[in-house]
Amino acid sequence: EAQVTQNPRYLITVTGKKLTVTCSQNMNHEYMSWYRQDPGLGLRQIYYSMNVEVTDKGDVPEGYKVSRKEKRNFPLILESPSPNQTSLYFCASSTRQGIYNEQFFGPGTRLTVL
């Protein structure tokens, strides 16, 4: 089954404790992206990757890191999480011409930073 998977689905952590949210897709997509969703703000793009080893900042990159060492994986790293990073996070992927093609979204990761 074609899908985007994220782990963990739920995470409660404390300020300053490094964490990684994994994202994997099995559709051989070139384009992958991370979003955060906050009430009243919709989804805001954190980082995206056009292909392996090619990443760029989205609209809200501060406090986040990403890497794209393999085509299928695009982990999101919070080196020192803070309470303002409490949010619902979505990973998405699409084919190279992402502007024309839909993005496939993962199920989301709900993160709480205390």
Binding residues for other proteins, per CB under 8 A? 31, 33, 35, 40-45, 48, 50, 56, 59, 90, 92, 98-100, 102-103, 105-108
In DSSP notation, the chain reads ---EEEE-SEEEE-TT--EEEEEEESS--SEEEEEEEETTTEEEEEEEEEETTEEEE-S--TT-EE--SSSSB--EEESS--GGG-EEEEEEEE-S-TTTSPPEE---EEEEE-
The residue among 40 and 62 lying less far from other proteins, judged by its C-beta, is: 40
Q: Minimum distance between the CB of residue 14 and other proteins, rounded to whole angstroms?
A: 25
Nearer to other proteins, 35 or 64 (CB): 35
Shortest Å, Cβ 55 to other proteins: 11
